[in-house]
Amino acid sequence: MNKQRKVLIAPSILSANFANLKEQISIVERAGADWLHLDIMDGNFVPNITFGPMVIEAIRPITKLPLDAHLMILNPERYIEQFYHAGVDILTVHVETCPHLHRTIQEIKSYNIKAGVTLNPATPASLLVEIIPYVDLILVMTVNPGFGGQKFIDKMLEKINTISRIRDNFNRDALIEVDGGINTKNAKQVFDAGADVLVAGNSIFKSKDIAKALKEIRKSTSR
Ligand code: DX5
Ligand code: ZN
């Protein structure tokens, strides 16, 4: 069955060298990356601060890759328009930050971009049931959000599987993306559990050979 499924790889620039961002993005693009994952952190919802729409606006003209923005910020609904104008293709919000999640998802979709929802490791998969029919993407966190280079939480494999079953029941078109601690050792398990898109930060950008590391992750899923 897996032979018919194609894995998408989304390198996360969180682990890239920001003084050399243009070159590093071009390396992953040439190496066959499918999306570029952009981690937006506000120092409130998560302990770390990264970058916002201005940096995305600067990246937009230098790559053809779909820009996949993961908002780890409080009140994300206040910034949808700015991220849209900055040029994102996919905007994903955390269920933990959205009391009016249905409204927020509708607002993202009103800009004709893809809308995603994501869950922290401790947030139950069942919270997705009511919103899945409306989303294009479900992002499953396999580390606690905030930092690159953390260890994959093995227990999350069961959750990916559960979410994959919920997806099959309620919205077959939604993609499942998995984020945190993915490397060549676990990528196949994650893919087999039901992931369509693999985010990888450290295991790609902290490697000596970025292009090779990306290709190795893809290859490891078909072994
Ligand atoms: C964590 C971020 C991830 C991070 C993944 O808060 O959401 O996207 O960049 O990095 P690695 O692959 O190093 O765990
Ligand atoms: Zn992320």
Question: Per-block average pLDDT, block size 10, for the chain (223 residues)?
Answer: 79 98 98 99 98 98 99 98 98 98 98 98 97 98 98 98 98 98 98 98 98 98 93
- Centre of ligand 2 to C-alpha 133, Å, is 22
List the strands of the sheet with 67-72, edge to edge. Answer: 8-11, 197-200, 175-179, 137-141, 114-119, 90-94, 67-72, 36-41
- Residue with CA closest to ligand 1 atom 2: 145
Token code pair at residue 54: 């201005």
Atom number, ligand 1, closest to the C-alpha of residue 146: 6
User: What was the pLDDT predicted at 126?
Assistant: 97
**Helices of type H across 51-209:** 53-59, 80-86, 101-110, 156-170, 187-193, 202-205
Atom number, ligand 1, closest to the C-alpha of residue 180: 14
- Centre of ligand 1 to C-alpha 151, Å, is 10
Q: Which residue is catalytic, options 34, 42, 179, 196?
A: 179
How long, in residues, is the chain?
223
Task: Give the C-alpha distances (Å, rounded to integers) separating 158 from 11, 65, 126, 169, 189.
Answer: 23, 30, 13, 17, 10
Q: What are the residues whose beta carbons fall under 8 Å from the beta carbon of 177, sequence distance 6 or more? A: 10, 68, 92, 116, 137, 138, 139, 140, 195, 196, 197, 198, 199
Atom number, ligand 1, closest to the C-alpha of residue 149: 13
Give the three-class secondary structure for 158.
helix
What pTM value is reported for the model? Answer: 0.98
Cβ(104)–Cβ(81) under 8 Å? no
- Residue with CA closest to ligand 1 atom 1: 145
Give yes or no: 39 in active site: yes
Task: Give the C-alpha distances (Å, rounded to integers) separating 63 from 26, 27, 53, 212.
Answer: 7, 11, 16, 19
Give yes or no: 179 in active site: yes
Q: Which residue is catalytic, options 39, 42, 136, 196?
A: 39
User: What was the pLDDT predicted at 145?
Assistant: 98
Token code pair at residue 62: 């230098």
- Centre of ligand 1 to C-alpha 213, Å, is 16
User: What was the pLDDT predicted at 4?
Assistant: 74
Cα 96 to Cα 33: distance, rounded to the nearest angstrom: 29
Show the ligand 1 pocket: residues with CB < 6 angstroms. Answer: 12, 14-15, 37, 39, 70, 143, 145-146, 148-150, 179-182, 199-203
Q: What are the residues whose beta carbons fall under 8 Å from the beta carbon of 101, sequence distance 6 or more? A: 93, 95, 117, 131
